[in-house]
Amino acid sequence: MDLRLERICHSYSDLRVIEDVSLTISQGQVVCIVGPSGCGKSTLLRFIGGLERPSAGRVLQIGAPPADSLNPLTYVFQDFALLPWRSVEGNISLALEEHAISAARREMIIEDVLARTKLSDFRKALPRQLSGGMKQRVAIARALAVNPAVMLLDEPLSALDAQTRELLMEDLVDLWTRKPFTAVYVTHNLAEAVRLGHRIVVLSRRPGRIRTTVDIDIPLCDRRADDPVLEAHQRHLWDLLRAEAIAADKELVHA
Ligand code: ADP
Ligand code: MG
């Protein structure tokens, strides 16, 4: 299933947040959306996920989700959003409980996503026993459990330290390489974007409009943190974003 955003515009009262964003997310692609703080990235993701409707424009789903997909779209948030009283498997199971599937199938799915996210030894642990990186692996496992057509990730690594972020990036690449998924990945972190994005969409400061789109055709599994080509892409993205970020930073807070 592809997603097509057609001429999305949005205002909250008189605050213009998104301006004329059109974009296609093709099946099997990771599309990263970058832009300065407050430019409308999370808002755009909420429109894609159907949590909110834009003032104008539309989001189209082209084609059908996979036959065994339980939810076409799933989210991963910066703050993990785990239920503290539920174990790792209990949190993953949560995504499955609203669906009429057999206990055996539920167990099979849980085993599969635990293995894919390297959590098999932690299934009985509670969130408070886990590091931030492990908590985010649980949230990713929960998102994968429903076999979504598109995963929507909102700054998934932004609450983690640099080393944990690096490990999670490696895990995400590994996950994608073994079983490609479609994702919209919102981040303000350009290093993440060039490591994980097949396509990187750069938004301007608010109201967010597409400044440019960069395609990187190096396979995800061949991307290294110190790859000079990726570094050049990152510098180019920063050149585009720097002026936007300075202007956004100096803007008066809208109260
Ligand atoms: P980003 O994720 O790029 O940092 P957001 O999409 O969260 O930006 O927000 C874009 C702008 O819209 C910000 O100025 C924010 O304050 C404003 N905003 C977001 N949600 C709401 C809302 N529900 N009501 C009013 N303003 C909002
Ligand atoms: Mg945001």
In whole angstroms, give the CA distance from residue 18 to residue 124: 43
Asked if 58 and 166 sit in the same domain, the reply is yes
- Residue 71 is assigned to a structural domain of this protein: no
Choose one of 148, 170, 196: the last residue of a domain: 148
Residue 77's SS3 state is strand
Asked if 240 and 171 sit in the same domain, the reply is yes
- Residue 75 is assigned to a structural domain of this protein: no
- Residue 74 is assigned to a structural domain of this protein: no
Asked if 154 and 219 sit in the same domain, the reply is yes
Q: How far is CA 194 from CA 175, 180, 228, in A?
A: 17, 17, 11
- Sign of the Cα pseudo-torsion (191, 197, 201, 205, in order): negative
- Residue 167 is assigned to a structural domain of this protein: yes
pTM of the predicted structure, to 2 decimals: 0.95
Produce one character per residue of 143-181: b if its CB has 16 or more CB atoms within 10 Å, e if not: bbbbbbbbbbbbbbbebbeeebbbebbebbbebbeeeeb
Q: Whose CA is nearest to atom 18 of ligand 1?
A: 12
Q: Is 43 in the pocket of ligand 1 (CB under 6 A)?
A: yes
Q: What is the pLDDT along the chain (255 residues), one digit of tens a residue?
A: 999 999 999 999 999 999 999 999 999 999 999 999 899 999 999 999 999 999 999 999 999 999 889 999 999 999 999 999 999 999 999 999 999 999 999 999 999 999 999 999 999 999 999 999 999 999 999 999 999 999 999 999 999 999 999 999 999 999 999 999 999 999 999 999 999 999 999 999 999 999 999 999 999 999 988 899 999 999 999 999 988 888 777 776 654
Choose one of 148, 173, 204: the last residue of a domain: 148
Choose one of 105, 122, 148: the last residue of a domain: 148
Asked if 155 and 239 sit in the same domain, the reply is yes
Q: Whose CA is nearest to atom 7 of ligand 1?
A: 42
| The predicted structure's pLDDT at residue 225 | 83
Q: Quick one: tokens of 50? A: 């159907």
Asked if 90 and 60 sit in the same domain, the reply is no
CA 34 – ligand 1 centroid, Å:
15
Instruction: Please check whether residue 4 is in contact with residue 184, taking contact to mean a CB–CB distance below 8 angstroms.
Output: no
| The predicted structure's pLDDT at residue 247 | 79
- Residue 98 is assigned to a structural domain of this protein: yes
| The predicted structure's pLDDT at residue 253 | 63
Q: Quick one: tokens of 47? A: 């429109």
Asked if 155 and 54 sit in the same domain, the reply is yes
Please, is 83 exposed, middle or buried when counting C-beta atoms within 10 Å of its C-beta (0-12, 13-18, 19+)? exposed
Q: How many residues does the chain have?
A: 255
Residue 2's SS3 state is strand
| The predicted structure's pLDDT at residue 250 | 78
| The predicted structure's pLDDT at residue 243 | 82
- Residue 33 is assigned to a structural domain of this protein: yes
Q: Is 42 in the pocket of ligand 1 (CB under 6 A)?
A: yes
Number of structural domains in the chain: 2
Asked if 54 and 36 sit in the same domain, the reply is yes
Beta bridge partners of 150: 73
Instruction: Please check whether residue 199 is in contact with residue 29, taking contact to mean a CB–CB distance below 8 angstroms.
Output: yes
Residue 126's contacts (CB-CB under 8 Å, 6 or more residues apart) are 84, 85, 86, 87, 88
Its domain, for residue 121, covers: 83-148
- Residue 73 is assigned to a structural domain of this protein: no
Asked if 230 and 160 sit in the same domain, the reply is yes
- Residue 31 is assigned to a structural domain of this protein: yes
Q: Whose CA is nearest to atom 26 of ligand 1?
A: 12
Place of tokens 């167990």: 107
